[in-house]
Amino acid sequence: MASSQFMVIEDHSIKKNPFPYWSVQGIVSWVLSEALGCENVSIVAEEDVQVLSKIGAFGLLEAIVKTVNECLAEAPRFGLRAPVMALSTSEVLETIDRCNSMGGSSGRFWVLDPVDGTLGFLRGDQYAIALALIEDGEPVLGVLGCPNYPVKKECLSYHNGYRRILSRLTSLSSESWDRGCVVYASKKCGNAWMQPLLHKEKKFVWPNSARQIKVSSVDNPALATFCEPVEKANSSHSFTAGVAHSVGLRNQPLRIHSMVKYAAIARGDAEVFMKFARAGYKEKIWDHAAGVVIVQEAGGVVTDAGGHPLCFSKGMYLEGLDRGIIACAGARLHEKIVKAVDASWNSSCL
C-alpha cells in the first residue's frame, strides 16, 4: 500500500520543516499523482496554496520546495519511485494546488490532514498524518501515520500522564521496534493493520512487518479507558466527565492530541473516545475520515451522539452532526454512552 509507505516520507518532512503542512500536501499529491495519474487525483486538504503566493511568503515557499525534494529523493528507500529530477517551484506549487477539492456526495476524492494535532507536534507529543479515500460520500480507505505512538502498548502510561511519552521510549530494548507506527484499513475487508514506521535496523520493511489489530474485548465500563481531546476549546471535559461517571467509566481519561485517539481504539489500547464540542464548532471531515474506517474495520463502532453514521458527503464539514462523536470498541459500551448522553444533554451548557 503506497499510502502507508509515504507516511514514512512525510515524517521526514515534518522533522525538517517547522511549517510542514504544505510540504506534506505536496508529497502526498505527487505520490498519488504518480500512482494514479494527475487527472484522477482530487484532494480535500486543510491548507490553502494561495497563502504561498502572497508577498513575503518566498522564504517559506523556498523551504517547502527544498523539503519536498529532499524527502522525495529518499522515496526509493521505501519502495517508491523518486522524481527523475528535482521538482521546480512551479511544479511543487502545482502539486499542492491539486489539494483544492471541496468534497461532495459523488465521485472519488482523497481527504488529507497533513499534521493533525499541531500542538502535539510542537510539544513533541502525539500527532498524526491522516489520509482517507472517500467514494460517493463514504470513507473506504484510511491511513494514519503516528510518528510518536509506540508500537508496544507497554510503553503507554495512562495514570502517570501521556504528554511526555517520548521520555519513556528510551527504555525500549534493542529487540523492540522503534517508536512510531502506521495503522490502516480498507472498507468491508474486516481487517485493520499496523506496522512500524521503521524497523529497529532503521530500514523500511513494509509489508512484512504488518500485523492485524483488533479493538479491545473489554465491555465492562469499570475496566474501560476512554479518550478525549487535550484542548478544552473544542471539547467539553466537564460534560465528558459527567457522561463517563454516569456510565461507570472509572479510569482516568487518556487525553491525546490528534486522530491518534482513533488508533488507540483500533489497537485495543482504549475502549471509548468521546468528543462534545460547544455550540458553533464545526467538525472537519479530515479530522475523522481515516480514523472512522480504521476503527470500524478493527471491529469498533463510530457514530454521532445520536447513534447516526457520520456524514462525509456534504463538503468539508460533518454537517448534521448530532451533538458530538462517540467511538467505542464494542456495541454494548456504545449503546450505554449514547443513552447517558441523551439523559444528561438537556442539563449541559453545550
Q: Where is the binding site for Mg(2+), in residues?
A: 46, 113, 116, 287
State which amino acid sits at residue 4. S
Helix (H, G, I), strand (E, B) or coil at 282: coil
CA distances from 135 to 80, 100, 143, 317 (A): 25, 17, 15, 16
Count how many Cα atoms sit within 13 Å of the Cα of residue 266 in the half-sphere of its side chain. 32
CA distances from 263 to 69, 80, 225, 340 (A): 30, 25, 14, 24
- Residues forming the annotated binding site? 46, 113, 116, 287
Sheet holding 301-304, edge to edge: 254-255, 226-228, 272-275, 325-328, 301-304
How far is residue 70's CA from residue 9's CA, in Å, rounded to a whole number? Answer: 10
Instruction: Specify the long-range contacts of residues 196-199, CB closer than 8 Å, at least 24 apart.
Output: 196/151, 197/7, 197/8, 197/11, 197/145, 197/147, 198/8
Which position has the grid cell 490528534? 258
Contact of 86 with 66, CB cutoff 8 Å: no
Contact of 105 with 94, CB cutoff 8 Å: no
State which amino acid sits at residue 221. P
